Amino acid sequence: MSKRFNLLLLHYPTDIHPRTWICVRGKGIKLAVEKLEKEVLQMQNWSREKLSRNIAEKFHCAHGVIKRILQGNADFYPLPIILEMARLSAQEKKVLRNIRDKITYLKVNSASAKPIKAVRSMDHNLAKILGAFMADGSLSMQFVFSSSHPQRLIAVRNKLDQNDVGYSVGYLPSRKEYYVSAQADSNTLHFLERIERSIDVRIQTHYGIELTEEYKDSVDAFNKWIKEEFGIIPTGVGRKRGAWRTIFSNKILARYLICYFDVFPGPKTYTAHEPHEIRTSSLLIRKSFARGVLMFDGCVTKSHKIVFSVKSRNLWNAIKEIWEMDKLSFGESINARRDEFTLFTTEKNKKNKFFAYFEPNTQKHKLLHWLGGDLSYKPMIKSLEGLSVENLLKVIKESGVCDTQFLGRYFKRTYTTIQQYLNILEKQKKVRISRSPKYINGSVSEKAEVFLNDEQHDIIFKNVRRTFGRDKNLAKILNIHKATFSAWRKKKNRMPLHTLQKTCQLLNLDYKNILINVREIDRNIVEIV
276 is a domain residue:
no
User: Contact 307/367 with Cβ under 8 angstroms?
Assistant: no
Residue 483 CB neighbour total at 10 angstroms: 10
**Hey, is 378 helix, strand or coil?**
coil
When divided into structural domains, the chain yields a total of 4
Looking at residue 384, what is its pLDDT? 47
Do 398 and 523 fall within a single domain?
yes
Tell me what pLDDT residue 383 has: 47
pLDDT at residue number 416: 83
Query: What stretch of H or E contains 146?
Result: strand 137-147
Domain C-terminal end among 92, 117, 142: 117
Asked if residue 494 and residue 408 are part of one domain, the reply reads yes
Q: Is position 356 within any domain? A: yes
In the chain the first and final C-alpha atoms are separated, in Å, by 56
Residues 424, 469 share a domain: yes
Shared-domain flag, residues 391 and 520: yes
- pLDDT tens for each residue of 285-297: 999 999 999 999 9
Cα separation, 229 vs 164, in Å, equals 39
> Is residue 266 a part of any domain in this protein?
no
Report the distance separating Cα 346 and Cα 305, nearest Å: 7
**Domain for residue 273, yes or no?**
no
Is 268 a domain residue?
no
CA count, 13 A, side-chain hemisphere, 82: 31
Of the candidates 271, 269, 314, 318, the one whose C-alpha atom is nearest the C-alpha of residue 292 is 318
CA atoms of 414 and 404, how far apart (whole Å): 9
Residue 261: Cβ within 10 Å count = 19
Domain boundary among 90, 117, 144: 117
DSSP H or E stretch at residue 214: none
By C-alpha distance, which of 493, 488, 494 is closest to 448? 494
Residue 186: phi and psi, rounded to 5, are: -60, -25
Flag residues of the chain having pLDDT under 70: 1-2, 197-198, 302-303, 371, 373, 375, 381-385
Quick: pLDDT tens for 421-456: 787 788 778 899 999 888 888 788 888 999 999 999
Residues 523 and 414 in one domain: yes
The helix (run of H) or strand (run of E) holding residue 80 is helix 79-88
Q: Among the three residues 318, 345, 371, which one is the final residue of a domain in this structure?
A: 371
Shared-domain flag, residues 11 and 82: yes
**Within-domain flag for 272:** no
CA distance 115 to 104: 10
pLDDT at residue 374 in the model: 75
* C-alpha–C-alpha distance, residues 265 and 11, integer Å: 18
Q: Which range marks the domain in which residue 507 is found?
A: 383-529
Q: Which residues pair with 107 in a beta bridge?
A: 23
* Proportion of the chain in helix, strand, coil states, percent, rounded to 5: 50, 20, 35
Residue 105, beta-bridge partner list = 25, 117
Handedness of CA 163, 168, 169, 172 (dihedral sign): negative
CB neighbours of residue 238 within 10 Å? 10
- Residues in Cβ contact with 225 at an 8 Å cutoff, skipping those fewer than 6 apart: 125, 128, 129, 132
Query: Is 230 among the domain residues?
Result: yes
Does 156 share its domain with 89? Answer: no
CA-CA-CA-CA torsion sign (42, 44, 49, 54): negative
For residues 73 and 168, membership in a common domain is answered with no
Instruction: Taking the CA atoms of 242, 243, 244 and 249 in sequence, report the sign of the dihedral they define.
Output: negative
Residue 18 and residue 79 in contact, taking contact as beta carbons nearer than 8 Å: no
The verdict on 318 and 233 lying in the same domain is: no
CATH number at residue 131: 3.10.28.10
Q: Tell me, yes or no, whether 473 and 405 share the same domain.
A: yes
- Give the count of beta carbons closer than 10 Å to the beta carbon of residue 381: 18
Q: Do 390 and 529 share a domain, yes or no?
A: yes
Q: Are strands 306-310 and 298-300 parallel, antiparallel or unpaired?
A: antiparallel
| Domain membership flag for residue 226 | yes
152 and 213 in one domain? Answer: yes
- CATH code, domain with 427: 1.10.260.40
- Taking only Cα atoms into account, the Rg of the chain, rounded to an integer number of angstroms, comes to 32
Q: Is 300 helix (H, G, I), strand (E, B) or coil?
A: strand
